[in-house]
Chains A and B, each alone.
Chain A
Amino acid sequence: MSQNYVERPRFSCALGGALETITSLPGVAPVIHAASGCGGNLFGAQQAGGLYGAGYCGGLSMPSSNVAENEIIFGGVERLTEQIESTLELVDARLLFIVTGCMTDIIGDDLRAAINPCLGRGTDILALHTGGFRGNSYKGYDLTLQTLFTEYTVKTVRTQADLVNVWGLAPAHDPFFRGDLENVKHLLALLGLRANTFFTYDETLSNLKNAGAARLNIVLSPVNGLGAAAAFQEKHGVPAIVVDLPIGAGAAERFLYTIAAALGLEKKIAAKAVGAEKDRYYRYIERVSDSYTDMDLQQYFLTVANSTYAAPLTRCLAEDFGWLPELTVVTDLLDEDEQEKVRAGFRDFRFTPAPRLVFETDASQIQRHFTGAQRPYRQERYYDAPAPLFVLGSSQEAELATRLGAKYLSVSYPLNDRAVLSCGYAGFRGGLRLFEDLLYALIGR
């Protein structure tokens, strides 16, 4: 990893994350204040999230001021006002979200001045500086949520005892965010809770508007969405709990007990929920166990993923399926404090030791981390190697898997070799789906 560049970064910029977030919300349209290429280029990056496309007003439908030399020299405020006005006239949205690119941030365009003439026309307008140099796409996701929670979510004194908010998965860059959120929502429903996730298709903007009435915020990532949690607590007084995304049965069980405890629910409510789901889960596992056992499908494995997915995914394979974790590579650019939070997810693995954990952004360095840790071969007749080996990573790791002679499942961004629709690996249901996908990768090709 170099301080001077990132090779094949698995994130885009703050504007990219903001756009992925905004265009994933129901009834919201972005207005990009940037050059003509920013939105189109970042949409290309978005599609690498498992073919995650334009939706209602994303992709090449995104309104954009398309500033050029003239605005860079003379300022773009007037052009932005004109673009917001025409967008209000043309685009059917309940909320407009103005976001900026590098060039308009550097020249210092005043967003307030641009927006003021357009207020009071029945459409809410928010604005955020998202020039790409302000951070990566996860930061853009977090900043966008912060703005929504502090400026759009209504302040209320009435708390609803059965309402919680859930976030932490960045649209597209967490390619399974929709399925995972649905699965988490299902888990919470087992505890008698209603959950706002803001992005699942059963919700509207009202969920976001009324999120202030929740009792608890649940953040499903050790690093993403924490700023939003702090801002939420400050504005609405709702506390947050940070938990690992509950991938698979073991994690789902812990998740249910943890949330029940955090909300002071009776333990037997959680126990009942766990019992029913686990019973269903193991009826499925039971049926495939003949083949699983006979074929000896247990694998050593290597995980390459972002901070949110790396630990829970590795743990699920190790603790639920009994695979042997060799190495986990976290591909985000993190500071010391954030790295420590990710490390916490790798403590206390049951049954088998936790894998070696490496923070590495550069795709071409990953093989070095793997092979560098292997004991050199000294012409012994019998040599202990991590084989059979399985790789879970982005589609970039397909090449690595081929070189290592490993089977492979693509699970992290960029995900160009599979389409992700409603698939998610969270919860008991997600665990089954993950096992299905792993077995298909092992025996199907």
Chain B
Amino acid sequence: MAAVRVEAVLAAAEEQEAEKRRSITVEKELELEYDLGNLLAMDRNPPPAAALRGAGPRREALLQALARDNTQLLVSQLWELPAERAGGAGGPLVAQLPEPTFPLPREKPPPKPRPPTRWEQFARLKGIRRKKKTSLVWDEQAKEWRRRWGYRRAGGDPSRAWLAEVPAGADPEEDQFARLRREKRERVARNELNRLRNLARAHRAGSAVPAAPLHPTGHQDRDELRRVARVARVSTASLGRFQPRLPKEPAEPPSRSGGKKRRFEPLLGNLAAERSRQLELLRDMGSKKPVLDITRAVNKQLRQEEAEAAAANKGKKQSKRGKRGRRQQRPGRSSKKSGARRQPQQKPAGGGAGGGRRKKA
């Protein structure tokens, strides 16, 4: 008797629970897709099209019912997220949202690292590393620690020195103080110019990639745009003959070569130049050795060395010494590669280390 009563109570409780849940459950044929980071739900079930075609109030009611069901599902998902009370026990319930997953385009392209300055490029090539300098140095005269630069610097401000040495071989009448001031001014101006040049180069470098499909993004070079527009204009079946023209464009469609006409030397005139040109051509043809473009060869060599160094670095960790040290270690290898080809240009005395050769090029 008692057992029956317990079962009945349990069944009643279960029914009550189901009744409670019924108010918040929604049946859908296809599951919704959620992106809780964006508070987003996507319902792929086709809505009842025929019913929605009906009169205004009925359609509104249908839309609202659909929205209610979908919102219920989304809110149930959000309530399932891990939540905590913000600011102690009495605070509002705050749910931790996951990261948004729906792929959306960015507003701007990702930031690019600043391209290295001219000096940084050179220093990398030569393996020059930055040395840390202390800001305080010992001043021998003042017998105390002073700043390396700036106000009250060690050794005193050179521009305020009361004595200036006349270098050997200089004009004794020349004002040495004025010379020092002028040189300083020139150095400052040159530094500023180089800084601006580096900035401009960095600014241009962002778009320097020759884009085969030109995207309307980033900074665009004027010449690049002109080139792309020209190519686009003549890239039709009629080679651009029937393309509409811009107001200032010439009527003739530009040729593929960019509107540059072939230029020939005048038939009569500079005989000496013609003679030397022909002679040079003949000499090149007659010689057994290939013609060497020194600048190109040197650049190639440099690039090769850099690539080798990079490959060597990739395997092991960055070694402590720079590239210069490594190059000194194996001079034979680097000179062997180019030595044979470079022989005619080179004096026998110059067969030493890599540094000297480069200067010559």
Q: Do A and B bind each other?
A: no
B-contacting residues of A (Cβ < 8 Å)? none
